[in-house]
Amino acid sequence: MLYHTSIVGGLAAGVLARLFMLRLDYRQYPTYPHDLITHVALGFIAALIGAVLVPAILLKQYTAVTFLALAAEQFRNVRNMERETLTKLEETELVPRGIDYIEGIAKAFEARNYLTIFNAIITSGIVVWLGWPYAVVAAVLIILLTQFLKTGMVVGEIAEVVPGQISFHGPLLMVDDIFIMNIGFPAAREKIMAEGLGVVIKPKNDNGRAVLHNFGQRQAIIHTAAALLGTKREFGEPEFTPLARKNIDTGELGLFILPIEKDFECLRNIIERSPVLESASRKPLDSKAGRIASD
């Protein structure tokens, strides 16, 4: 009976952890209701595997451990599924996420199933050895821990976001002194001057400069800004495409967007809270050579 109770407790804790890690936000993924149901079902399976593991080992059913290996293989397939789905959706995005952002989302979905298993294992074990009150406390703490682990660094931690002045040098669109693109049509230039927003993203140190150098990171920032503020870009109108270009001397980024909602403070907040992608994460200052180069 105790083992049955531990399985129920671990299963409940694991499913709750997965539900707390699901979020419908500006990324519009997972969509409601079909992908949401898929991820909840996978979370249930992950929680059940974790909940059963402790009683199985205590009953010397060691073959149950092989289920962990099987689950790992299935969750790798989940990552592939997410990658393929989002890659196909890129074809219809006016402002694409970028391959790096897609890979980060796919990895996150895989990792969250492992966090679900971890929660279920710990809760199930504590029910067996310490009892329900301790298990409830442990489950709550682990859910809070998973909320912390599912979040990473954001752009505001590595860079400062300040207003950028939009101007034209002939047909050349500039944000401060950073070249963005060539705009040939006078009417488009007038619209950009009247309705466009420009910002400059200044890295705080060489680590931040290395992150912003990554094209995938820039594309993720642009996509996030376009998803939340909207964009007036239409198919066949490349002059209204949001872009971020680098000042090759300083590493600062100049970003231009023609938003539906012209609100600089909102744009600043969006950029500061944009995620730093794992594939873009660079820390040259952690190496001796990098520290020497920065001096």
Domain match, 33 and 127 both: yes
For the residues of the chain, what is the DSSP string, one character each? Answer: -HHHHHHHHHHHHHHHHHHHH---STT--S-TTHHHHHHHHHHHHHHHHHHHHHHHHHTT-GGGGHHHHHHHHHHHHHHHHHHHHHHHHGGG-SS---HHHHHHHHHHHHHHHHHHHHHHHHHHHHHHHT-HHHHHHHHHHHHHHHHHHT---BHHHHEEEEE--EEEETTEEEETTEEEEE---HHHHHHHHHH-EEEEEEESSHHHHHHHH-HHHHHHHHHHHHHHH-----TT-GGG--EEEE-TTT--EEEEE--SS--HHHHHHHHHTSBPPGGG---GGGSHHHHHHH-
| pLDDT over 70, % of the chain | 90
Q: What is the pLDDT of residue 236?
A: 73
Q: What backbone phi and psi angles, to 5 degrees, belong to 277?
A: -70, 145
pTM of the model: 0.81
pLDDT > 90? residue 279? no
Domain match, 132 and 198 both: no
Asked which of 119, 151, 183 is the last residue of a domain, the reply is 151
Q: Which domain holds residue 124?
A: 2-151
pLDDT > 70? residue 289? no
- Total domains in the chain come to 2
pLDDT digits (tens, 9 = 90+) for 90-137: 888 888 888 888 888 888 888 888 888 888 888 888 888 887 778 888
Cβ-proximal residues to 144 (8 Å cutoff; 6+ apart), any chain: none
Cβ-proximal residues to 125 (8 Å cutoff; 6+ apart), any chain: 6, 10, 54
pLDDT digits (tens, 9 = 90+) for 167-194: 999 899 999 989 999 988 888 899 999 9
Domain match, 184 and 168 both: yes
Asked which of 113, 135, 151 is the last residue of a domain, the reply is 151
Domain match, 137 and 160 both: no
